[in-house]
Chains A and B, each alone.
Chain A
Amino acid sequence: MAREQHDYDDIPGTFVFDAERSRQGFGINMFCMSLMKDENRKAFKANGAEYLKKFNLTPEQTDAVLKRDYNRMLELGGNIYFTAKLGAADGHSFQHLAAVMTGNTQQDYAAMMLGGGRSVEGNRSRSGKNAPSKFLAGAAAKKAKKKSAAKPKAKTKSKSKKSKPKPKSAKRK
């Protein structure tokens, strides 16, 4: 069955843990939660495929877990706070998981974070909705207005997103 489409599916590199994924991924997340107990970690490490049988995963989910394919786990309903427990049970730091999910070495990922993180520019949308949120654009426009007196309104980039461009001068006392 095809997944219902949502506005947030347009965000690149992101699997939003919504109600549908929460339902589908219940088994993955309960499995991850079970790893909070040492005896379960031992049982899982001794025989992963066997241990996973308790959690009614689909074959794809089982495969993703056994291969430690973290992005696929998220896509199939895993939630990051839960899958992180699997990473921890494997003895990995969270940064290791982040590096794996982003296709970086851990060193490169750490350097990216120290450098201020991944920029939002070019990372907002799969379908080209790369204009900043109007809540940011509005602020920028106000600043500009203050400096250069009477500019009537903020620049509007995509018509479809902003069906009602508001005259900013009317909004601000």
Chain B
Amino acid sequence: MARIIAGIGASHVPAIGAALDNGKTEEPYWKRVFSGFEKSQEWMRELKPDVAIVVYNDHASAFSVEMIPTFALGCAVEFPPADEGWGPRPVPVVQGYPALASHIAQSVILDEFDLTICNKMEVDHGMTVPMNLLFGKIDKNSHWPCPVIPLAVNVVMYPPPTGHRCYMLGKAIRKAVESYPEDLRVVIFGTGGLSHQISGPRAGLINSKWDKNFLDNLSRDPKKLAKIPHIDYMREAGAEGIEMVMWLVMRGALDDKVDEVYRFYTVPASNTAVGHIILANRGKAAKHKPAAKHKRAAARTKSLVRRSA
């Protein structure tokens, strides 16, 4: 059966992607940010997950204001990077995992989470920046190390889903993954945040105390975070800081008690506080080394890549 072995929280600041794409990672300002992810990339290389579920939000790229799905699950074979006004980011096309994605859709809808299903979708920096932070810079003609299932959450139009709803969706996703027959080691990303406001006269707001408290509780007492009302996120962490609810989908998909593998926090990247955390499940599966099963999955990834090339 498939298992979720770890969760990753990471900010998805567009300027991080721009710094990476324009070769600025060695500049002191950006080195401070990127150096915080070096250990995580090592950890990820060692972990070699078979699939990643990435919870993120679209920023007026795939969804505009014509349709605003609260939760949208990507079930496509592949997800091209969106043109966000400067041409698509020079990253590989993201390979999906349609079989598991549609299994998750079916399972969580019957669990009363009414997802939108996307069989064709482009993905923006909200998804590809955290992937770069964890998988490193990858040439656009190469491929990401594993297939990805995108879960887009509306956090652009108020109200986003509540933190509690996000947390419970995480639990439903976990149940779905664990009822999938294939042996897969799955990681889940929660992205966005941490504190930031980029709109209106209060733009530039950062609240490090709030952010650190959030990270502490994410590790140890996530149920407490699931009770935070939207008004508190907006007041304390900025109008756009409400993106932090997406981290609760990730957290809900993990065990109640987890090991905090790594944490990083720095201010600022552009207008935003950058937060990052790695939480690992303690179950046997988490320690299980990639073996023959992994090779099969890797072979499948490659064949998918070849097919689409």
Contacts and interface: CB of A to CB of B under 8 A. Distances in A.
Interface of A: 7-8, 11-19, 22, 25-26, 29-30, 32-33, 35-36, 71, 74, 79-82, 85, 88, 94-95, 98, 101-103, 109, 112-114, 116-120, 123-125, 129, 132-133, 135-136, 138-139
Contact of B199 (A12, A15, A30, A112): A15
A167 B101 CA distance: 44
A22 B68 contact: yes
Contacts of A26: 65
Given A11-B234, A79-B60, A94-B270, A116 B85 contact: no
Contacts of B273: 117
A30 B65 contact: yes
Given A15-B199, A133-B235, 14 more contacts: A8-B235, A12-B202, A16-B234, A17-B157, A22-B68, A79-B65, A79-B157, A81-B60, A113-B271, A118-B203, A118-B205, A119-B206, A123-B202, A132-B236
A74 B158 CA distance: 13
Contacts of B230: 8
13 contacts: A11-B234, A13-B201, A14-B202, A30-B64, A79-B60, A98-B198, A101-B200, A113-B271, A116-B267, A120-B205, A120-B210, A133-B210, A135-B217
Contact of A109 (B195, B197, B204, B213): B204
B156 A103 contact: no
A147 to B, nearest CB: 16
B161 to A, nearest CB: 14
A98 to B, nearest CB: 5
A13 B159 CA distance: 19
Given A79-B65, A133-B232, A88 B204 contact: no
Chain A interface, DSSP helix/strand/loop, else mixed: helix
Interface in B186-239: 195-210, 213, 216-217, 224-225, 227-228, 230-232, 234-236, 239
B65 A124 contact: no
A29 B60 CA distance: 9
Contacts of B158: 8, 16-19
Interface in B115-135: none
Contact of B206 (A116, A132, A135): A116
A33 B268 CA distance: 28
A127 to B, nearest CB: 12
A16 B41 CA distance: 36
B263 interface: no
Task: Name which of A33, A95, A103, A139 has the most chain B CB atoms within 10 A of its CB.
Answer: A139
Contact of B65 (A15, A22, A101): A22
B204 A81 contact: no
Contact of A135 (B15, B208, B213): B213
Given A133-B232, A133-B235, A94 B271 contact: yes
A135 B270 contact: no
A117 B204 contact: yes
B143 interface: no
A117 B156 contact: no
A144 to B, nearest CB: 14
B199 A14 contact: yes
Task: Name which of B156, B199, B208, B210 has the most chain A CB atoms within 10 A of its CB.
Answer: B199
A117 B209 CA distance: 13
Nearest to B29: A114
